[in-house]
Amino acid sequence: MHVYHDESYPIVGHDPFTGHGVLYIATDLRAALFDELLDARKGYRHEVTFKGISGGPKGPRFEVAQRWIDIVLGQLGSRMAFKAYFADHEARFYRAPYKGQPGWERHLMYSTALPLLGVPVFAFREFDHLDVTPVFDPTGNSLDRQAYERATVLAVRRAARRRQTHPRHNPTLAMQPISWVDSDPRKYDADDGSFSDTEKRIDSEWIQVVDVLLGSFKSALVGTPVGKNGRLVLADSVTNLLAETWKLPWYRVAQRARSMTVTIWPDAYGLPYNPRPQRRWDDQRSRLLWDLDVDAPLRR
């Protein structure tokens, strides 16, 4: 199994959330769906990122991102699962350090390890053991890189500990060393239309997919700026599906609910919680937001 990770860092006074997107996918499915991801490009060869989508719901980046979301949402289930995890740096009762502040690397390690561990426990509980190849977008910061590497080790250790105390629904993990793959696909494209490194080209595409998914959820969480209607459409694509998982009877959408989750940390008790995805209009900032219901039960 492969796991793809992308992140967004907090910015003091502008963006109070550390965000992690984690996509687990069966290795054979990862390769099989790669052709669909390529077809969705319709010849567009540049990197696709959520931040790169500006203006309305048009243009090649938006169109590719929308097709990718449709592909992923159609495949979520027992062989693919996605989790978005957000840490609120301006929470009332606990404030995590921002990048550059003391304790940042420790925060980054733990906030990365939690979704790496949470997805197998929740979405792949029928397995006893998972062999995982983690793929991350490279970072030039050596301390952040060490934090990510330690996060994979921490996830493996905690999975083993959970397995010892609660054998049911807690698979153990074996993580390979992180594979650092650039998200720009042109670095692995050859002039003749082939790939200079096929495996890395596949990984590069999936990292971009995780970027789009994470950005879509974050846009719904912290708001979509006026004029960025393309991002709003993508945010609606994921939150509408998430809203379905809150409808009763829950057992009818149990597998889908396990395959796509969003967790925010902390609540008033220092614990993670799931926001109810109910859209509302913020007149003060002229943007659409989720209602963050801290009383919603945690499903992770």
Residue 205 — very low, low, confident or very high, per pLDDT cuts 50/70/90? very high
Lowest mean pLDDT among 137-141, 143-147, 290-294: 290-294
At 145, which amino acid appears?
R
3-state SS, residue 287: strand
Give the DSSP per-residue string, 60-115: HHHHHHHHHHHHHHHH-BTTEEEEEEEEETT-SS--PPPTTSTTHHHHHHHHHHHH
What is residue 140's predicted lDDT score, i.e. its pLDDT?
84
The C-alpha atoms of residue 15 and residue 201 are separated, in whole angstroms, by 31
Is residue 8 within 8 Å of 215, Cβ to Cβ? yes
Lowest mean pLDDT among 5-14, 28-37, 134-143, 277-286: 277-286
pTM for this entry: 0.88
Q: How far is CA 283 from CA 19, 218, 226, 228, 279, in A?
A: 25, 19, 11, 16, 13
Residue with tokens 């301006």: 90
What is residue 299's predicted lDDT score, i.e. its pLDDT?
42
User: E strands, 113-253, where?
Assistant: 129-136, 172-175, 179-180
